[in-house]
Amino acid sequence: MQAIRSRDTKPEQLIRRLVHAQGLRYRVCARPLPDLRRTADMVFRPVKVAVFIDGCYWHGCPEHYVAPKVNSGYWSQKIVRNVQRDRDTDQRLTEAGWLVLRFWEHEPSGTCAQKIASTVLARRTSPRDS
């Protein structure tokens, strides 16, 4: 379990590199809300956008998740708790005025980076309520 990365995975690094190349700056592995003990992979504080790049196994991807053969009860419950925590995080951030973007690790990095960039730029230019 020590070898499992919680940050700086290859999909995250590639998407971050592509977003950075478009001139956008962000916080890496940061808490969007100080009182919420959960971190987003990329945080754009001024426009309140939190980006999560979810691993297919750890977050229960409907296309790629395969239940483990060994100790399946424990691991299946862990994945269910992860998904529930993800939904709770989305809800809390949305209630606080944040926009949550979630991507699966198998999605094309270029597509994810383009969506992130266009969303952040749109929120920068549009007037928002405080």
* pTM, two decimal places: 0.90
What pLDDT is stored for residue 15 in this prediction?
97
In a domain, 2, yes or no: yes
Classify residue 55: in a domain, yes or no: yes
Position 53 in a domain? yes
Tell me the residue range of the domain where 54 lies.
1-7+18-32+40-62+100-107
CA atoms within 13 A on the CB side of 84: 6
Residue 45 lies in a domain: yes
Q: Phi and psi (nearest 5°) for 21?
A: -65, -20
Rounded Cα distance between 50 and 39, Å, is 9
Whether the CB-CB separation of 101 and 51 falls below 8 Å is answered with yes
**92 domain residue, yes or no:** no
pLDDT at 4: 65
Structure tokens at 83: 């998904």
Integer Cα distance of 52 and 82 in angstroms: 13
What is the number of structural domains in the chain? 1
Assess if residue 27 is contained within a domain. yes
pLDDT string in tens for the chain (130-residue length):
555 667 889 999 999 999 999 999 999 999 999 999 999 999 999 999 999 999 988 899 999 888 888 888 898 999 999 999 999 999 999 999 999 999 999 999 999 999 999 999 999 998 765 4
Q: How many CB atoms lie within 10 A of CB 75?
A: 15
Reported residue count of the chain is 130
CB-based contacts of 94, cutoff 8 Å, min separation 6: 100
- Secondary structure, 3-state, 83-102: HHHHHHHHHHHHHCCCEEEE
Distance in angstroms (rounded) separating the CA atoms of residues 119 and 70: 41
Residue 112 lies in a domain: no
Is 54 within a domain?
Answer: yes
The C-alpha angle 28, 103, 60, rounded to 5 degrees, equals 110
Give residue 1's pLDDT: 54
